[in-house]
Amino acid sequence: MITALKFSAQLFLLWVIYFLSAWVIKTFHLPLPGGVLGMLILFALLLSGVIKEEWLTTATFPLLRHLSFFFIPIAVELMEWGDLFRQKGHLLFLPLVVSLLVALLTTGGIVQLLTASSRKDGGH
What per-residue confidence (pLDDT) applies to 68?
Answer: 77
pTM, entire model: 0.56
Calculate the alpha carbon distances from 103 to 14, 37, 59, 107, 115 in Å. 25, 18, 27, 6, 18
Predicted confidence pLDDT, tens digits, the chain (124 residues):
788 999 999 999 999 999 999 999 999 998 888 888 999 999 999 999 999 999 999 999 888 888 777 777 777 777 777 888 788 888 888 888 999 999 999 999 999 998 887 777 765 5
Where are the domains positioned within the chain? 1-68, 71-124
Measured distance CA(49)–CA(30) in Å, rounded: 26
